[in-house]
């Protein structure tokens, strides 16, 4: 028997090797399938490794100053857009006006002002650009869309309202602009969900509505669940709402005729039609959410305190400690959100931002081609603000060869910066 043992072991080894050869290698790249006619792109590995995909490079233009001429000082920039001639138009909510600069950043004109008259704003909350360089603004206080020509002259005015055949039992109100999809402005409406229950719930729904910028015709596209909150029953009926730490929520992006929709609870992007809201494609990745430990929560709280109290020593005595106690009393989700936000660039590529804690350096964007192929990761320059529809942060414009947005410098002074995008 001992003499036959090596032969037996050799046969077993050959069997295991043969079995290993029959085992397919793990998938790589992006898997393209479909379900009920909807294309699904499942991203496994990027086309290019980190550092070898697209990059955001040199600074091309900067507009802004701390103490210079007033036309270069910004109070609260909403967005900036680049025109076909290279010029830049900036929407400043604090000044209630649009300002135009040439390709070198030299001031050209301004229009707007506080008010309700033609060309004025009560709350300048969005700036976009149509083909031909027409400028589109949105005022949620006046529920008004205004279209200007490239020289800042008012062309026409439209109302932001639901289609006549659409109603919500709990009421509906126009909220934020998501972005441009062709010649349509996509607006988020807020609606009360009449099926809310106590506990962790989403009692607010969001409806996306496309407004045709030629005739004002509105089309309801989709309705999605809103932000997770903690609902408690009131003594006299009704509900009271408490903040839910690390609660999930939807986010949106729109450009190049494409609308991207995410919910932060899972790595899944739904691309929907701006014409009728039909799902045109799904992009997904298998990403497990990270558990919320005490250490994770305290790191989040430290970041929030730093944002709320930039100089904690100057805060009234005990205010920072009271703020921390309040936050520690909130209910926390058991796991972190997976995603943070989503963008669509001028060529229809989809930029997905993974979740990050408050105060932490954001991870690079995962960038996907229009067909869902995972191209790679792209980092933004430090200090360049990312767009979050929910948090009303400045919009970010990603063009064919540039990235244009708001950069915050010392003393929290805002600058408009444009960087080269190398694809």
Q: Is residue 379 part of a domain?
A: no
Burial tier of 49 (Cβ tally within 10 Å: 0-12, 13-18, 19+): exposed
Per the structure, the complete domain to which residue 308 belongs is given by 293-332
Token pair recorded at residue 116:
């309700």
Mean pLDDT by 10 residues, the chain (423 residues): 49 54 77 97 94 91 95 97 98 98 97 98 97 96 98 98 81 93 96 84 95 97 96 79 96 96 99 97 98 98 94 89 97 98 98 96 97 97 90 92 93 94 96
Q: Report pTM.
A: 0.92
Alpha carbon 66 to chain centroid, angstroms: 28
Q: Is residue 137 part of a domain?
A: no
Q: Identify the DSSP state of 47.
A: S
Token pair recorded at residue 279:
């799902």
Angle at 67 between CA 64 and CA 68, to 5 degrees: 65
pLDDT at 4: 47
Q: Is residue 328 part of a domain?
A: yes
Q: How far apart are CA 134 and CA 213, in angstroms?
A: 10
Across 285-327, the runs of DSSP E, i.e. the strands, are none
Collapsing DSSP to helix, strand or coil, 72 comes out as helix
Across 160-217, the runs of DSSP E, i.e. the strands, are 172-181, 184-192, 199-201, 204-212
Q: Is residue 298 part of a domain?
A: yes
Angle of helix 319-328 relative to helix 294-308, nearest 10 degrees, comes to: 140
Q: Which helix (H) or strand (E) holds 286?
A: none
Phi (first) and psi of residue 303, to 5 degrees? -65, -40
Q: Is residue 325 part of a domain?
A: yes
Give me the number of domains the chain comprises. 1
Across 228-370, the runs of DSSP E, i.e. the strands, are 229-233, 239-242, 244-245, 250-255, 258-263, 268-272, 279-284, 331-332, 339-344, 350-354, 365-368
Q: Is residue 13 part of a domain?
A: no
Q: How far apart are CA 347 and CA 399, in angstroms?
A: 7
Q: How far apart are CA 390 and CA 392, in angstroms?
A: 6
Q: Is residue 166 part of a domain?
A: no
Token pair recorded at residue 298:
């305290």
Q: How far apart are CA 196 and CA 356, in angstroms?
A: 29
User: Diameter of the chain by CA atoms?
Assistant: 102
Q: Is residue 299 part of a domain?
A: yes
Handedness of CA 242, 247, 248, 249 (dihedral sign): positive
pLDDT at 280: 98
Other C-beta atoms lying within 10 Å of the C-beta of residue 192? 15
pLDDT at 13: 56
Q: How far apart are CA 179 and CA 197, in angstroms?
A: 32
């Amino acid at each position: 028997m001992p003499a036959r043992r090596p032969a037996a072991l050799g046969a077993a080894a050959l069997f295991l090797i043969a079995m290993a050869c029959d085992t397919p290698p793990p998938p790589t790249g992006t898997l393209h399938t479909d379900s009920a006619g909807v294309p699904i792109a499942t991203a496994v590995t990027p086309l290019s490794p980190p550092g070898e995909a697209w990059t955001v490079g040199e600074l091309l233009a900067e507009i802004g100053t701390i103490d210079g001429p007033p036309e270069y000082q910004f109070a609260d920039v909403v967005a900036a857009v680049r025109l076909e001639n290279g010029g830049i138009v900036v929407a400043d909510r604090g000044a209630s006006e649009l300002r135009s600069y040439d390709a070198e950043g030299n001031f050209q004109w301004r229009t707007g002002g506080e008010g309700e008259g033609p060309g004025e704003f009560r709350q300048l909350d969005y700036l976009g650009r149509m083909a031909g360089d027409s400028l589109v603004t949105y005022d949620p206080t006046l529920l008004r869309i205004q279209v200007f020509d490239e020289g800042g002259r008012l062309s026409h005015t439209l109302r932001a309202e639901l289609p006549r055949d659409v109603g919500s039992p709990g009421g509906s109100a126009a909220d934020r602009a998501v972005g441009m999809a062709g010649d349509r402005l996509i607006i988020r409406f807020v609606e009360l969900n009449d099926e809310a229950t106590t506990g962790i719930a989403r009692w607010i729904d969001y409806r996306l509505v496309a407004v045709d910028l030629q005739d004002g015709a509105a089309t309801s596209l989709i309705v999605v669940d809103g932000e997770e909150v903690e609902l408690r029953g009131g003594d006299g009926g009704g509900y009271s709402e408490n903040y839910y730490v690390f609660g999930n929520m939807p986010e949106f992006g729109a450009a190049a005729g494409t609308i991207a929709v995410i919910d932060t609870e899972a790595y899944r992007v739904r691309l929907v039609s701006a014409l009728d809201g039909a799902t045109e494609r799904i992009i997904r990745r298998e990403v497990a959410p990270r558990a919320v430990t005490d250490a994770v929560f305290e790191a989040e709280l430290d970041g929030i305190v730093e944002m709320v109290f930039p100089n904690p020593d100057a805060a009234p005595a005990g205010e920072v400690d009271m703020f921390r106690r309040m936050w520690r009393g909130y209910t926390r989700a058991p796991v972190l959100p997976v995603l943070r936000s989503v963008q669509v660039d001028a060529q229809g590529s989809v930029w997905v931002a993974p979740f990050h804690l408050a105060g932490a350096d954001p991870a690079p964007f995962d960038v996907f081609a229009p067909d869902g192929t995972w191209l790679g990761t792209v980092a933004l320059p430090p200090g360049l603000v990312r767009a979050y529809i929910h948090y009303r942060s400045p919009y970010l414009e990603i063009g064919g060869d540039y990235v244009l947005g708001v950069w915050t410098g010392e003393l929290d002074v805002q600058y408009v910066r444009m960087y080269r995008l190398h694809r």
